[in-house]
Amino acid sequence: MPGAIEKKFIEELHELVSGHDEIRLIHEKKDLPKEFTEKSEEGNELFRYEPDVLILKNGKITHIVEVETDPVRKALVGGAYTAAYFIDKHFKDSKPKLYFAVGKKDIEYKQLPKQQARRRVINRWCENIFSDIKIDKYEKVMKQLKADLGI
pLDDT tens-digit series, residues 58-115: 999 999 999 876 655 556 777 888 899 999 999 988 899 999 887 765 445 566 666 6
Q: If residue 48 lies in a helix (H) or strand (E), which one and from where to where?
A: strand 45-48
CATH number of the CATH domain containing 76: 3.40.1350
Q: Chain-centre distance of CA 70, in angstroms? A: 15
- What is the model's pLDDT at position 136? 83
- Number of domains into which the chain is organized: 1
Q: What is the DSSP letter of 136?
A: E
**pTM metric for this prediction:** 0.85
